Amino acid sequence: MSRQIVIGLSAVVAAIRDGQAVVLTVRPQGQPAGLPFGPFDPEADRTFELALRAFVTAQTRFELGYVEQLYTFGDKGRDAPLANLGPGPAGRASRIVSVGYLGLTPKAVDTAAPDTAWADWLRFFPWEDWRDGRPAALTAIEPALRQWAGAHPTRLPRLRLLFAQDGAPWNEERVLERYELLYEAGLAPEAARDRGEPPAPAVEALGPALGEPMISDHRRILATALSRLRGKLKYRPVIFEVMPEAFTLSALQRAVEAVAGVPLHKQNFRRALERAEMVEGLGRLDSETGGRPAELFRFRREILGARPVSGLSLPLLRD
């Protein structure tokens, strides 16, 4: 009898908390972190999305708002430690196909569900945070990357382009490609693990600069999500899905910066918002941090139905 297919659904649930991009993780004690995931039941589930919403709520006591499909991963050998996804054709080795989803929510409240926590997204990709200039983690891993590339005719240009080597500019969208390069180079702990090998010495030496690993292919899915989200920021007003009803323009800018991982030019960011008529002042003020109180704004959701609406421009701050 032939090997069976199990479809696993994984959710990247993202939010903003204290000016940082965070994701919902599940971490059974002692184990690496993972994303909320569950099996797709071909009998009972009418659509992927409904199944996803149901098990995320069950697992984390959290209701999803905005949801979109990311990618379906089916490579043999990268699904290793997800052996049993609950009931269904377990016992015998099943072929696991994983469908990744991205969910956004304005409320990063603690759910009190066991083993569930909001984790700083960039902890898994420390080289992705350029808000305060070139990240230290990148400097730390550069030697290992360059050693892997050597003078190789395709590796070296690829490294240059993806990791801003030799004066190449940083492109914040290519999160997945960067992670895949690290995996190929054997610099992601998951690479050795998936082959059943012990961790490489180079990986152990670099430690946290390589980012925290996750179970199964979850870090890959997380990288896919960040790539998608950073790209989408620019052509859809998705950032408002992680903002509360009322927010200050600075909070909005900090949210965009946290997701995109780059510092933005304050005034040009505001001018772009204004021109697009995306936000509206509420007259009310925010009485908060030290300094002049900021006006509260709201997203003009009504423009979504009324005209083709693009995202935000990212006016970079020169460094």
Q: Which positions touch a second copy (CB under 8 A)? A: 2-7, 40, 42-43, 45-48, 69, 71-72, 74-77, 88-89, 94-95, 97, 99, 154, 157-158, 161, 168-169, 171, 305-308
Query: Using CB distances below 5 to 8 A depending on partner kind, what does residue 290 bind out of DNA, a second copy, none?
Result: DNA
CB under 5 to 8 A by kind: which of DNA, a second copy, none does 285 bind? DNA
Closer residue to a second copy (CB): 27 or 95: 95
Q: How far is the CB of 145 from a second copy (least distance, A)?
A: 16
Rounded to a whole number of angstroms, the minimum distance from the CB of residue 269 to DNA is: 9
CB count, 10 Å around CB of 273?
18
- Smaller CB distance to DNA: residue 196 or 290? 290
262 backbone dihedrals φ, ψ, rounded to 5°? -135, 150
Least distance between DNA and beta carbon 264 (Å):
9
Q: What one-character DSSP code corresponds to residue 217?
A: T
Q: Which does 249 bind (CB under 5 to 8 A by kind): DNA, a second copy, none?
A: DNA
Are 90 and 47 a contacting pair, CB within 8 Å?
Answer: no
Whole-angstrom Cα distance, residue 293 to residue 285? 6
Q: Minimum CB separation from a second copy for residue 68, in Å?
A: 10
CB of 206 to a second copy, least distance (A): 26
Element (H, E) at 136: helix 136-149
From DNA, a second copy, none, which one binds at residue 89 (CB under 5 to 8 Å depending on kind)? a second copy
**How far is the C-alpha of 170 from the C-alpha of 112, rounded, in Å?**
38
Asked if residue 12 lies in contact with residue 221, where contact means CB atoms within 8 angstroms, the answer is yes
Residue 275 interacts with which of a second copy, DNA, none, CB < 5 to 8 Å by class = DNA
Q: Least distance to DNA from the beta carbon of 273, Å?
A: 10
> CA torsion 78→81→85→88, rounded to 10°?
80
265 binds, among a second copy, DNA, none (CB under 5 to 8 A by kind): DNA
Backbone angles phi, psi at 90, to 5 degrees: -90, -165
Nearer to a second copy, 44 or 112 (CB): 44
Residue ranges in contact with DNA by CB under 7 A: 248-250, 265-268, 270-272, 275, 285, 287, 289-295, 313, 315-316, 318
CB distance 14 to 66 below 8 Å = no
Give the shortest CB-308-to-a second copy separation in angstroms.
5
CA distance 17 to 73: 29
Percentages helix, strand, coil for the chain (3-state, rounded to 5) are 35, 20, 40
Number of CB atoms found within 10 A of residue 261's CB: 23
Residue 141 · residue 209 · CB < 8 Å: yes
The residue among 131 and 158 lying less far from a second copy, judged by its C-beta, is 158
Closest to DNA by CB, 184 or 245? 245
- Residue 152, both tokens: 């190789």
Helix locations, 152-276, DSSP H: 155-162, 175-184, 189-194, 201-206, 218-232, 249-260, 266-275
Of 113 and 276, nearer to DNA (C-beta) is 276
Shortest distance in whole angstroms from residue 43 CB to a second copy: 5
- Our CB check for DNA shows the closer of 47 and 267 to be 267
